[in-house]
Amino acid sequence: MNIKGNYVTLRAVEEEDLELLREMINDPEIEKMVGGYSFPVSKVQQKGWFESISDNKNDIRLIIETKEDGAIGFANIVNIDWKNRSAFHGIKIANKNFRRKGIGTDAVMAVMKYAFEELHLNRLDSSIIDYNEPSKKLYCKCGWKVEGIRREAIFKGNQYHDELVVGILKEEYEELIRKNNYWKR
C-alpha cells in the first residue's frame, strides 16, 4: 500500500520517475550532501537500475510526492534485516525550495510510521556526512540519535570526511509521536 504522511505520499517508483532520479544523482550539489556515490548516470543506466529493483522483498524504494507538486524526492528502506528487525533508510529531495517546508520531516515521519507500525521493525539506521547540517537537524527533529562517528569514511571534494552513524528505535519513535502528536495535527 502507499504510505501517507501529513503532506506527502510515498509510492512505488514508476518509469516516469527515472528522469527525476537521474537528475538528482547527476546533480553535484545534491550528491555532495549524501554518502552515496556514482559515476555520471545515463538514461540507459538509470533504466537498468529500475529493471533490477522490481522483484525484491528486502528493499523498498519510494517516490516522495505531494498533491501540489507531484514527485519531488526519493526515500528508501533497504537492507531489511527481518530477524534483527532493522533496516537502512535514506532520503533525497530534488529541489531546494522543498527542503525547507517540512516536506523532509513529513517524509521521514511517514517512513518511520510504515517501518515501525506496518513492517514491524525495531530499528532504523542511517548515515550523515559530517558537514550536512540540514540532515542532522532533520533527523534530530525526527527523534534520531547520533550513535557514532566513522572517521574518514567518505572521500569527497578531495578530502576525507567523517560519517555520522545515526539510528532510532521503535520505542523512541513512539515516545516522539506521543509528545508531538505528529499524526493528530
Minimal distance, residue 179 CB to its own copies, in Å: 17
Binder among 14, 19, 133, 175 for its own copies (CB under 8 A): 14
Q: Which of 11, 18, 33, 88 binds its own copies (CB under 8 A)?
A: 11
When binding is defined by CB under 8 A, the residue of 21, 25, 71, 110 that contacts its own copies is 25
141-160 burial code (b ≥16 CB/10 A, e <16): ebbbeeeeeeeebbeeeeee
Measured CA angle at 13 (ends 130, 86), to 5 deg: 50
If binding is defined by CB under 8 A, does position 153 make contact with its own copies? Answer: yes
Q: Which of 8, 72, 74, 86 binds its own copies (CB under 8 A)?
A: 86
- Residue 60 Rama label (left phi>0; alpha psi -120 to 50; beta): beta
Closest distance to its own copies from the beta carbon of 124 (Å): 11
Specify the stretch interacting with its own copies by CB under 8 A; choose among 92-100, 101-109, 130-138, 161-169.
161-169
CB of 103 closer than 8 Å to CB of 8: yes
Q: Which is nearer to its own copies, 14 or 133 (CB)?
A: 14
> Is residue 6 near its own copies by the rule CB under 8 A?
no
Of 69 and 117, which has the nearer Cβ to its own copies? 117
What is the rounded distance in angstroms from the CA atom of residue 67 to the CA atom of residue 162? 37
Q: Give the interface with its own copies as residue ranges (CB under 8 A).
A: 1-4, 10-15, 25-28, 30-31, 37-45, 48, 50-51, 54-55, 57, 60, 62, 82-86, 116-120, 122-123, 125, 145, 147-158, 160, 165, 167, 169
